[in-house]
Structure 1
């Protein structure tokens, strides 16, 4: 029940509750607790907080561990309010994301899979095709997305 309670509290709460959960993420030494909190931070209904959270994933001084970046991104991307924000973030910052994570693009691949949850319109296909072209310019091949 903990994930449901966390997510509901952050969806209904303000910046204070969100920031409290973020501080708990930084304090806890439990890997499972970190995962639950990371997922819950993406439950907020405040678009500006979702954007802030995404920016934190590529900021080494934010306290979000590099290995947790894809999980944090997924939490925002799977939020009905956040998936467009996540896709915009990915398109705008693809080069920085690829350079920051530098893990053979594994993290970037997970991020791309996360954004497709709510992408069901024709214009989403066009957006993905433009994104694929942009990704190719930095040497990243997206397979299965309109190739």
Structure 2
């Protein structure tokens, strides 16, 4: 189900994964989250869900593994998302004391994504348009 391209279904699946007695085993909640976060349609849904339900998720899984944050954010490529990630970490760093290095690496990775896009997007777009492939590009 984590592969579907229907946002409403992905949202429902996320809700069920972190709801006791929903039919999804507690130990499978992280697998569900990661599947949705690795889905192009679900990535933003997973990030918003993580932010909006942080305390509930943290209590449900008895601490949030860094891989949840990484899977939701590692493909971020905009200044807006970078800012959100920094603010998120600042707000929750007390709950992630053992993940400072992992978080620094993730922030560096996203900063690199933002810089790469800023430096190369126009050039790559022009080339793809010249090859007749512009219709395949996601917006940034």
The match for 2:39 is: 79
Query: Which protein has the larger Cα radius of gyration, Structure 1 or Structure 2?
Result: 2
Shift of 1:81: 0.7
The match for 2:81 is: 124
The match for 1:111 is: 68
Unaligned runs of 5+ in 1: 1-40
Whole-angstrom CA distance in 1 between matches of 2:61 and 2:42: 21
Unaligned runs of 5+ in 2: 109-140
Runs of 4+ with >3 A deviation: none
1:38-57 alignment, distance < 5 Å: 41-57=1-17
Whole-angstrom CA distance in 1 between matches of 2:50 and 2:83: 15
The match for 2:96 is: 140
The root-mean-square deviation of aligned C-alpha atoms, in Å, is 1.8
Does the aligned pair in 2 maintain the 1:50–1:76 contact within 8 Å? yes
Whole-angstrom CA distance in 1 between matches of 2:57 and 2:65: 7
Number of paired residues? 103
Q: 2:18 matched to 1:61?
A: no
